[in-house]
Structure 1
Amino acid sequence: MRFNFFSRTTATLTTNYEGAPAFALTPQLELYAAVATAALSDQFYETAGTRLQRFRALVAKNEPRFVAQLAVYAREQLHLRSVPLVLAVELARVHNGDDTVARLVARVVARADEITELLAYYAAANARTGRKTLGRLSKQMQRGLAEAFNRFDAYQLAKYDRAGAVRLRDALFLVHPSAKDAAQQAVFDQLVRGELPTPYTWETELSAVGQQAFATAADRQTAVRTAWETLVASGKLGYMALLRNLRNLLEANVSAETMAQVCAILANRAAVARSKQLPFRFLAAYREVKALPSGHVAAVLTALENAMAHSAENLRGFGPATRVVVACDVSGSMRQPISARSKVLLYDVGLVLGMLLQSRCQNVVAGMFGNTWKRVVLPRGPVLRNVDEFYSREGEVGYSTNGHLVIQELYLRREVVDKVMIFTDCQLWNSRGDGGTLARQWADYRRHVAPEARLYLFDLAGLGTAPLEVRPELGVALIAGWSDKVFDVLGALENGGSALTEIQKIDL
């Protein structure tokens, strides 16, 4: 019977990076998962260059409209910046004949520095370096970038006119945008001459302080403290900048009034909504300040918990009638940073999303798996504190990826649940050598215990395979990404759709 289970499959059987049996994803699902989890830096199983090559191959395999919709979805729903630009360039390489690329480029370039980032990738993708060797842009690429240029004012251009392979001045010469009016033409002329007014940002203000000469170290410290206090009071310190500079604010020993204002901004419901922060950024800030000796730390941690709660307000959970299992993969491959410059691990992302979901469900069992599967009872509500509790206990289950044990326990207990949510890199394998797999356990569990149960794989790595076949009739769905937006897909799944259904709703 177990061999017959595999013979009936319609998916392509393969092996994952651990050499364990796995199922290949369709080109659409594979591209979606790779995009939603892309930091474009080296990962445990795959280098940044390998993933870029896989993007290129997958773009060629998919319909141009889907690629464009996915790029917009990644930029506007998942709040990713670099990978939509990569998709736009790769689509331009293989598609022409209509204005899809122009409309896509104009849509995904939301900040002035994304013009130069897109052109830098364009140069790399076409084995060119520097403005003079970029050559002519395609007409559609040029049209899209020209429309983007027309949206930015002097402040935005000055703020993001940074040193790099391609400067904004270079981009202006390449794109030749027509100014929408005389005022904008004057701004373009200033950009060409290098005369844009210096923007008021926290970087420029702190840089100005750093360039001054001070009689004593105490005088310098006072100037730095005053600069931070002025920045916070001005209201011009963005939400992300505030998150990233909490340590600097505390170490500068800013006033109690300033820290009260900082906490108020962090915990402001409207500010959280506008910031569009990925959930793990709150965890990174939480950990950054937790061990500092300042007396303001407790207030900051409370503000961050409140911010996380606000970010989850619109998250669709499940009521008391829906029995949910949340299982977090804490194996060795999940202990990799999401990017070269980040301290956040895939493991952290899984725990944050898992605890976010737990906070919105009323009948939920949560736990973690490695060598073994262990249920962990924690109070609903304090998401960041719960993540740290999990983090302190992960060694209790070891570092293998025996995800099948989550379902095996349900099967042996004859415990009926409605939803099983597994947060993982999908590289599951059985370290016990007894032949058990998630695919077999799930088939047995649905056949003998809970025929209506649904399994949701939250793919946090996008490596192109799944440990079981992703098909609605088997009760299996795949959702990818690090954003709380992944939970929006649950609504589509409940109504017979999928993650791809949500992407295909994007209007170009």
Structure 2
Amino acid sequence: MANKGLFASAIARLMPVADTVNREGAPAYAYGPEHKLAQLAATGTLADTFYGGAEAQLADVLAAAQACDPAFVAQAAVYARRSGAMKDMPALLAAYLTVAEPDLAIPVFDRVIDNGRMLRNFVQILRSGQVGRTSLGSRPKRLVQHWLERASMPQLMAAATGKDPSLADVVRMVHPKPADAGRRAFYGWLIGRPYDVAALPAEVAAFEAWKADRSLPLPPVPFEWLTAFSLTAEDWAVLATRIGWQALRMNLNTLARNGTFDVKGVTEAVAARLSDAEAIAKVRPMPYQLMVALDQARASVPLKVQAALEDALEQSLVRVPKVPGHVVVCPDVSGSMSSPVTGYRKGASSAVRCIDVAALVAAAMLRTNRDTQVVPFENHVVGVRLDPRARLAVNAAKLAAIGGGGTNVSAPLATLNAMRAAVDLVVIVSDNQSWVDSTKGGATATLREWNEIKRRNPAAKLVCIDIQPYGTGQAPQGRADILNVGGFSDAVFDTIARFVSGDTRDWVGIVKQVEI
């Protein structure tokens, strides 16, 4: 018989050679500028990560943007905001375009700067000097002015929460022209200048009256304006029916702590709001946000409300594709996956870890595809028993509780090869900084194991989901059977569904379909 090792080596030489090293110094494949920008836009939060600082991430995204056509930068910005629900990166790319391609900045601003927080992000980034200017400049100033002029009074009031810069700071910078006496009075009230009390918008006038006489009904203003004051359980009950869906999801423990659920009818009203399908479809909460809200809900939050949260979680995952055949999902449970998915920020780090997102993707795929095989890995494959009939949150929590060890992305593929498993789709969810399986040359261990799977399963497809923005992967781009995609919103499931159904575009191609 011919020497297997010799001929295996010959075959390996035909595979694409790893052309860079990852953050662990192990062989990897570098993403091209467009893919790298798309990955940064969909997963970058301009915060410290396990393998790098915020400054390095900022430098990476600006370098990637400069290496791309401005039209693609515009598409990446809109994709990140509209599909990925990102905040800082879309604002950064919109600000970058005001220097790199001012004409493109106009439509991108309109698509990306869609609320007061995004407006303040945009202004903060421009004034920082990081994109090449330290002031707004005439065109960006007009864009901000137009946003203020078009915004409704509720939008302006919502924008007036937050600082650095505050909405008052923004108004002082751009000097918007008030269209009527009411808006003129609002701007005067906002920045502390004389104003016509009689012309003050009704909501703000009601707020000022309520501050003077707390026996009056709660005014219809952002709840953050009210929580600086002492509120009764009945006051909180009113707010529970009035605040936005996301604010409700985030403040369940606050409502419980203030006795809100003891007020008759509040529990039922809150549960109905949280599980309302129309509201969920409109807000499109991140699935992991709901999983964390469930995990953090204290015992004082009624079970009916917790059940509504779980229902909302199930509804948020309607985009998880149902895939025919043998599906294998491989969540990375190594030590680096314990870092916050949105990075470290002093006093503001997310409680959601990368491993939580990976576990949720695996549990969601299992829920939709009951025969899915879940193969967690770190240094090696980790055995865990999951019940496909169990609640999604239960399986996700079981996976997220593993944790620890080094990163070996090829381990689950090697296990499938050892089992000679039949495979149609493999989904790997990782930061892709594999090093335990480091090779001395040639292709990565992940690609070698995948090619062996393909030899037995010619129609099989591999999806590698990046949830951290490091610019490299363990499988190369440019193959019809491999998809590298970044992000942790439900847009990832859309992309997987397209790929499985035969869409031949890579992720960059999907981003390029975005209309500006």
Superposition deviation, residue 201 in structure 1: 2.5
Where in structure 2 are the equivalents of 1:408-419 lying within 5 Å? Answer: 408-419=414-425
Alpha-carbon distance in structure 2 between the residues aligned to 1:8 and 1:52: 36
**Corresponding residue SS for 1:207:** coil
Q: How many equivalent pairs are there?
A: 476
Tell me the equivalent position of 2:432.
Answer: 426
**Residue 384, structure 1, aligned to residue 393, structure 2:** yes
- Residues 213-292 of structure 1: pairs in structure 2 closer than 5 A: 223-232=231-240, 235-254=241-260, 255=262, 257-289=265-297, 292=298
Q: Distance in 2 between matches of 1:24 and 1:445?
A: 23
Does residue 322 in structure 1 map to residue 325 in structure 2?
yes
The aligned counterpart of 1:56 is 62
Which one of the candidate residues 438, 445, 452 is aligned to 2:459? 452
Distance 2:426 2:445 in 1: 16
- Return the alpha-carbon distance in structure 2 between the equivalents of residues 434 and 55 of structure 1: 30
- TM-score for both structures, normalised by structure 2: 0.85
Q: Mark the CA change 1:384 to 1:91 in structure 2 (over 3 Å): closer, same or farther.
A: same
1:115 is the counterpart of 2:128: no
Partner amino acid, structure 1, of 2:128: A
Write the distance in 2 (CA, Å) between the matches of 1:60 and 1:138. 23
Q: 1:502 to 1:231 in 2, by over 3 A?
A: same
1:73-152 matches, within 5 Å, as 73-96=79-102, 99-126=103-130, 134-135=134-135, 137-139=137-139, 141-152=140-151
Q: Distance in 1 between matches of 2:8 and 2:438?
A: 18
2:158 aligned partner: 159
Conservation of the 8 A alpha-carbon contact between 1:41 and 1:48: yes
| Structure 2 contact 30–472 (Cα < 8 Å) conserved | yes
Structure 1 counterpart of 2:212: none
Matched, 1:201 2:225: no
SS at match of 2:49: coil
Q: Which runs of 5+ in 2 are unaligned?
A: 1-6, 208-219
- 1:122 deviation in Å? 1.0
What does the per-residue CA deviation read over 1:281-316, in whole Å, with 9 as the maximum and x for residues that have no partner?
111111111xx343x543333222211111122432
Equivalent pairs: percent with the same residue?
Answer: 26
Question: What is the Cα deviation at residue 421 of structure 1?
Answer: 0.3
The one-letter amino acid paired with 2:113 is V
Q: How far has the Cα of 1:181 moved from its partner?
A: 6.2
Matches within 5 A, 1:412-491: 412-430=418-436, 437-447=445-455, 449-473=456-480, 475-491=481-497
State yes or no: 1:335 paired with 2:356: no
Q: Judging changes above 3 Å, is the alpha-carbon distance between structure 1 residues 506 and 146 closer, same or farther for their aligned structure 2 residues? A: farther
Tell me by how many angstroms 1:58 deviates.
0.6
Once residues 476 and 50 of structure 1 are traced to their aligned partners in structure 2, the CA distance between those partners, rounded to angstroms, is 28
Inter-partner Cα distance in structure 2 for 1:190 and 1:24:
53
Q: Which moved more, 1:150-159 or 1:480-489?
A: 150-159
Distance 1:167 1:301, change over 3 A: closer
The letter for the 1-side match of 2:116 is A
Tell me the distance in 2 between the aligned counterparts of 1:390 and 1:300: 24
Residue 346 of structure 1, CA deviation = 0.8
Distance 2:259 2:397 in 1: 26
1:380-411 deviation per Cα after TM superposition (whole angstroms, max 9, x unaligned): 4621121112233x15xx51212212111211
Deviations 1:131-156 (A, max 9, x none): xx9545142x2343233222212332
Deviation, 1:429, is: 1.9
8 Å contact kept, 1:430–1:437: no
Which 10-residue stretch deviates more, 486-495 or 279-288? 486-495
Distance 1:155 1:11, change over 3 A: farther
Which residue number corresponds to residue 306 of structure 2? Answer: 301
Q: Which residue of 2 aligns with 1:172?
A: 171
- Corresponding residue of 2:4: none
Question: Aligned equivalents of 1:467 and 1:125: distance in 2?
Answer: 35
Equivalent residues in 2 for 1:16-31 (5 A)? 16-31=22-37
Structure 1 residue 331, shift from structure 2 partner: 0.5
Structure 2 vs 1, CA of residues 433 and 102 (structure 1 numbering), >3 Å: closer, same or farther?
A: closer
Match of 1:505 in 2: 513
Distance 1:269 1:143 in 2: 38
The change in CA–CA distance for 1:4 and 1:60 in structure 2 (over 3 A counts) is farther
The CA deviation at 1:6 is: 6.3
> Could you tell which deviates more after superposition, 9-18 or 428-437?
428-437
| Partner-residue secondary structure (3-state), 2:239 | helix
1:345 corresponding residue in structure 2: 353
Q: One-letter code of the match for 1:81?
A: K
Identify which of 401, 404, 422 aligns with 2:410: 404
1:100 alignment partner AA: L
Distance in 2 (CA, whole Å) between partners of 1:56 and 1:453 is 36
Alpha carbons 1:102, 1:142 under 8 Å: kept: no
Distance 1:483 1:288, change over 3 A: same
Displacement after TM superposition at 1:360 (Å): 1.7
Asked if structure 2 preserves the Cα contact closer than 8 Å seen for 1:424 and 1:460, the reply is yes
Distance in 1 separating the partners of 2:506 and 2:177: 42
Matching residue of 2:378: 370
Corresponding residue of 1:220 = none
Deviations 1:344-392 (CA, angstroms, capped at 9, x unpaired): 1011111112222222224311131112213533224621121112233
Q: Does the 8 A contact of 2:438 with 2:445 survive in 1? A: no
Whole-angstrom CA distance in 2 between matches of 1:303 and 1:470 = 41
Q: SS of the counterpart of 2:451?
A: helix
Secondary structure of the residue aligned to 2:367 is helix
Question: TM-score by structure 1 length?
Answer: 0.86
Amino acid in structure 2 at the alignment position of 1:123: R
* Structure 2 letter corresponding to 1:284: V
